[in-house]
Amino acid sequence: MDIFDNINPLDFRYYGRSKKIFDNLNPYFSEKAMIAYMCKVESSLTRVLANRGVCSKAIADEVEQACKKVTADEVYEEEDRIKHNIRALANKIREKVSKQAKPFVHFTTTSHDIINTAESARLKDATLNVVVPFTIELEKTLIDLAKREKDTLQIGRTHGQHAEPITFGFGIAEYVSRLGEAILEIKKAGENLRGKIAGAVGAYNASSLFFKDPEEFEKEVLAEMGLKPGGHSTQIVEPEYELKLVHSIVSAFGILANLADDMRHLQRSEIAEVGEEFEKDQVGSSTMPHKRNPINFENVKSMWKAMMPRITTVYLDQISEHQRDLSNSASSRFVPEIITAFVASVNRMNNVMGKLVVDNENLKKNFDKNADMIIAEPLYILLAAYDHPDAHEHVRKLTLESQKTGKPLTELVFDDKSLKSYLDKFTDDQLDVLKNPKKYTGVAAKKTEKICRKWGIELEI
C-alpha cells in the first residue's frame, strides 16, 4: 500500500513521513511491532517452561528462534483463513518448530494472556524509551528558556487584560513546573502497566493443571517481559492501569496545548512578544506573503483537540461484562495513536520553543502601555495596610480619573492631599514600587530559578 492510500493523518503525514517520530515509535506502535511483542510473550512462556524443566532449554531456544522469524504478513494471511488472530500466530510459530517443540507453544495460555501482556509491554517500553525522554528534552528546552529570560520584564495578563508585572521566564517556569510533574506521572504510570498469564477467565484454570503455583509461574513469564501481574485479572488485565497511563498523557497534552495557546496569543500582530522562527524558504500564506503564522503552535493545539476526547473511549472500555466481553477489541487498538500524537507534538514544541524569538522591544512597549496603571494594586494594598478606610474604592476612582484626564496615576496619587498622611508611612521600598512599576515583580525571578533548579535535579537534566 502506498503511504498516501492511508486515511489516517498520522500514518500519511505526522508519523509515517516524520523520520524522527517514525524511527523512534515504529519498534513499539506499528502492527508489525505488536506482532513482534506477542511473539516475545510466546517465547518468554516457553523459556520459563524450560527454566522449570517442563521442556528442554533446546526447545525454548527453538521457539525463540521461530518467534523471531514470524512476519505480520503470514499471521494476517492465516487469520484471514481461520478468523482468529492469536490462533493464527500460534500456528505460524508451530509451523517453524520441531514436532517435539509444538506442544510447548502457547502452553496453557488464552489469547488475551498474549495480547494483553504484549500490549502492556510495548506501551511500557514506548513510554520509558520514547515518551519520557522526548518530554524531558522539551523540559530541558523550557528550563533553558526560563533561566535565560528570568529577568525579562513582561506584563502579566489575566482575562487578556494587563494585570501585574511578571518576567517572561516566570511565565515559562509555569510550564517547567507543570510539565515536570506530568513527566513524573507518565513515568510512574508507564512503569505500573501489568501483564497476565492467568487463562481464559483469570482463575489459572489451565495452568493449575500443571503447576502447584500458577501465580508464581505467571510472575516468572511476566518478569521476562519486564512486567508484573495485575491484582486480579479476568480474561483481561484490569483496565485501570492503562487508563491511568492514557490519563497522564492526555493531562500532559493539555499542558502543551496551554503553552501553545499562550504562545499563539503572544504572537498576535498587536502583541508580538514572541515569534516562531521561519525557515528560509517557508511560505507563510498562499496569498498573504507577509504573514508569519504560528502554525506549529496551532498544530499542537489542534492535535490536542483531536486526541483529548479519545480518553472517553478508554473510560468506556473500563466496562467489560463478566469475565470479559470483546467490545474493547477494536477500540483499544487506537490507543497508541494518542501517544504518538503526543510525542509528535512534544517534538514539534521542542523545536519551536528551542528557537523561539523573544521580542524585547515589544515586551517593553506592551509593558509601558499600562505601566502607570499597574501601581493601582500595590497602592490600594499599601493604603489599606496603613489603615485607609476605603482604599480599594478610592484607588478605583483615581484610575477612572486617570483614564479620563490622561494624567498619570502616580501624579494623581502624589497630588491627592487626602492620601498624604498614608504615603508618609510607606517604606522606601514601597515608595519605590509606586514610582517604578518595573520593580513590582515580586519574587518572579527568584522563583523561576528555584523551579528550574528543582526540575533539573529531579529529572537529572
User: What residues numbered 43-62 form the site for a copy of itself, per CB under 8 A?
Assistant: none
Subset of residues 113 to 142 that bind a copy of itself, contact rule: CB under 8 A:
none
Shortest CB 358 distance to a copy of itself, Å = 15
Of 190 and 294, nearer to a copy of itself (C-beta) is 294
> Taking the CA of residue 267 as centre, how many other CA atoms within 13 Å lie in the half-sphere pointing to its CB?
21
Which one among 12, 51, 128, 354 touches a copy of itself, defined by CB under 8 A?
Answer: 12
By residue count, the chain amounts to 461
Half-sphere exposure of 403 (CA within 13 A, CB side): 10
Q: Name the minimum Å distance from CB 65 to a copy of itself.
A: 20
We find the least distance from the C-beta atom of residue 307 to a copy of itself, in angstroms, to be 8
Single residue of 20, 355, 360, 385 touching a copy of itself by CB under 8 A:
385
Take residue 20 and report the three cell numbers written for it: 524522527
Which set of grid coordinates corresponds to residue 58?
533446546
Shortest separation between residue 419's beta carbon and a copy of itself, angstroms: 15
Tell the smallest beta-carbon distance from residue 111 to a copy of itself (Å).
4
- Does residue 395 bind a copy of itself (CB under 8 A)? yes
CA atoms of 196 and 335, how far apart (whole Å)? 19
| Shortest spacing between CB 66 and a copy of itself, in angstroms | 16
Work out which of 133, 408, 442, 456 binds a copy of itself, going by CB under 8 A: 442
- Using only C-alpha atoms, the chain has a radius of gyration, in whole angstroms, of 30
Give the shortest CB-225-to-a copy of itself separation in angstroms: 19
Contacts of a copy of itself in 264-303 (CB under 8 A): 264-271, 279, 281-295, 298-299, 301-303
Region of residue 66 (phi > 0: left; psi between -120 and 50: alpha; otherwise: beta)? alpha
Least distance in angstroms from the C-beta of 346 to a copy of itself: 14
Give the Cα separation of 241 and 229 in Å (integer): 11
- Cα(128)–Cα(86) distance, rounded to whole angstroms? 27
Please work out the total of residues on this chain that contact a copy of itself, with binding judged by CB under 8 A.
Answer: 195
> Of the ranges 61-69, 128-136, 137-145, 152-160, which one interacts with a copy of itself (CB under 8 A)?
152-160
User: Can you tell me which of 20, 58, 68, 334 binds a copy of itself, judged by CB under 8 A?
Assistant: 334
Site string for a copy of itself, 400-439 (x = CB under 8 A): --xx-----x-------------------xx--x------
Binding window for a copy of itself (CB under 8 A); candidates: 127-135, 219-227, 350-358, 362-370? 362-370
To the nearest whole angstrom, how small is the minimum distance from the Cβ of residue 116 to a copy of itself? Answer: 13
What residues between 197 and 216 interact with a copy of itself by CB under 8 A? 199-210, 214-215
Cα–Cα distance for residue pair 137/315, rounded to 1 Å: 30
Q: Work out the burial of residue 236: count CB atoms within 10 Å of its CB; fewer than 13 is exposed, 13-18 middle, 19 or more buried.
A: buried
Which of 56-64, 219-227, 363-371, 412-420 is the region at the interface with a copy of itself (rule: CB under 8 A)? 363-371
Q: Which region, judged by CB under 8 A, interacts with a copy of itself, from 39-47, 128-136, 150-158, 350-358?
A: 150-158
Q: Grid coordinates 487469520 are at which residue?
A: 79
Residue matched to cell numbers 504562545: 263
In the block, which residue shows the cell 527453538?
Answer: 62
Plot region of 408 (φ>0 → left; ψ -120 to 50 → alpha; else → beta)? beta
Buried b (16+ CB within 10 A) or exposed e, 102-114: bebbbbbbbbbbb
Q: What share of the chain is helix, strand, coil (3-state, %, to 5)?
A: 65, 5, 30
Residue 397, SS3 per DSSP: helix
Give me the least distance between CB of 386 and a copy of itself, in Å please.
7
Q: Which span sits near a copy of itself by CB under 8 A: 61-69, 70-78, 128-136, 353-361?
A: 70-78
Q: Which of 299, 256, 313 is nearest to 135 (CA)?
A: 256
| C-alpha–C-alpha distance, residues 459 and 184, integer Å | 8
Q: Closest distance between a copy of itself and the C-beta of residue 276, in Å?
A: 10
Helices (H), 52-129: 57-69, 72-82, 85-95, 111-126
Span of 128-136, 137-145, 351-359, 386-394 interacting with a copy of itself by CB under 8 A: 386-394
Among residue numbers 153 through 172, which ones bind a copy of itself (CB under 8 A)?
155-166, 170-171
For residues 362 and 378, what is the distance between their CA atoms, to the nearest angstrom? 25
Rounded-to-integer distance, Cα 394 and Cα 388, Å: 9
Q: Among 52, 219, 228, 392, indicate the residue that binds a copy of itself (CB under 8 A).
A: 392
**Closer by beta carbon to a copy of itself, 172 or else 225:** 172
